[in-house]
Amino acid sequence: MSHPPSVTYASGAIVRLIGSDLMTEPTTAALLRRLAPVSDGAHSTILDERQLALLAAVAARLVPQTERTAAIDLVGSFHRRLVEGTGVGWRYAELPAAAVMHRTGLAALNASAAAAFGSEFVELQAAQQDELLRTVQSGKTWPVAWRGIDPAMWFEELLATLVDIFYAHPLAQDDIGFAGMADAHGWPDVGLGAREVYEPEPVPGEQLGA
């Protein structure tokens, strides 16, 4: 199966739409809230400092951020969801509730790092971290205390949550050239290749290869 080359978009085209007359008020308000700094989940004890540092290291491998998206606070948003109990309306019956699941999963990941490489996850080289994460994703892992949690299911939940936070952010939507939030006037032409002037085009010559 061939893979098309990955394209890139010039920075800022989407963010400039926010607050313009191309966007309705409810959409503008929602995106401005998203751009605001994540209020810290204040006084919560779901994850401690050490677990948050571990989560940050994992997030950096699963959803690596560039300078362009660095302002997206993955860990802050993730933690706030745990503190506020924000879910997606369902969970695998085999897994415990989110807070217990992620505390247990992160602890088991660290224990796996120790079993495989003799160090904590945050101390490992990126390639070692990736190897460890691939193993957890595959569901085959070291005999450490997962306390009844299926490693592959936990990995899926962790990844899906981080991805959900990342691509909900206007900076990540800017990165992929999504202009659907320009909703004030509708789309008169919707066929292949149809484009309004405010819909970004890929930057010519900046294909990354697959």
Partner 1 sequence: MTAMHALDEMVDAVVIGTGAGGAPLLSRLAEAGLKVVALEAGRHWQPQQDFATDEEEQNKLFWMDERLSAGANPIEFGKNNSGIGVGGSTLHYTAYVPRPQPDDFKLHREFGVGADWPIGYDDLAPYYDELELFLGVSGPQSYPWGPSRPPYPLSPLPLNAAAQLMDRACAKLGIATSPAPNAALSAPYFHPAYGRRQACTNRGFCQAGCSTGAKASMDVTYIPRALARGAELRPSCFVTELPLGRSGKISGVVYVRDGQREVQRCRHVFLCAGAIETPRLLLINEIANSSKQVGKNFMAHTGLQIWGTFDEMTRPYKGIPGGLISEETHRPPDADFAGGYLLQSIGVMPLTYAGQVARGRGLWGDALLRHMRNYNQVAGINILGDCLPHEDNELLLSDECDGRGLPKPLVRFTAQDNELRMTAHADRLMRQIWGAAGAEDVWAYQRFAHTIGTARMGDDPGTSVVDADGRAHDVANLTICDNSVFPSALAANPALTIMALALRTADRFLARAAQGDA
If one asks whether residue 131 binds partner 1 (CB under 8 A), the answer comes out as no
Determine which helix (DSSP H) or strand (DSSP E) holds 113, and give its type and residue range.
helix 98-117
**Tokens 């602890």 found at:** 107
User: Is the Cα torsion angle 156, 158, 164, 167 positive or negative in sign?
Assistant: negative
Q: At closest approach, how far in Å is the CB of 11 from partner 1?
A: 13
Span 78-97, contacts to partner 1 by CB under 8 A: 87-94
Question: DSSP letter at 45?
Answer: -
**Tokens 């070291």 found at:** 142
What is the total count of residues that contact partner 1 (CB under 8 A)? 64
Candidate list 118, 143, 148, 191; residue touching partner 1; CB under 8 A? 191
91 vs 103 by CB, closer to partner 1: 91
d(CA 81, CA 4): 35
48 vs 88 by CB, closer to partner 1: 88
If one asks whether residue 64 binds partner 1 (CB under 8 A), the answer comes out as yes
d(CA 65, CA 36): 18
If one asks whether residue 27 binds partner 1 (CB under 8 A), the answer comes out as yes
* Beta-bridge mates of residue 206: none
If one asks whether residue 4 binds partner 1 (CB under 8 A), the answer comes out as yes
If one asks whether residue 76 binds partner 1 (CB under 8 A), the answer comes out as no
Binding mask 154-173 for partner 1 (x = CB under 8 A): --x--xx--xx-xxx----x
Of 121, 113, 120, 160, the C-alpha closest to 141 is 113
Residues 6+ apart with CB under 8 A from 71: 171
1 vs 42 by CB, closer to partner 1: 1
Residues 6+ apart with CB under 8 A from 194: 187
Applying CB under 8 A, the residues found at the interface with partner 1 are 1-4, 6-9, 24-27, 29-31, 34, 61-64, 87-94, 130, 133, 137, 156, 159-160, 163-164, 166-168, 173, 175-181, 183, 185-195, 199, 201-202, 208, 210
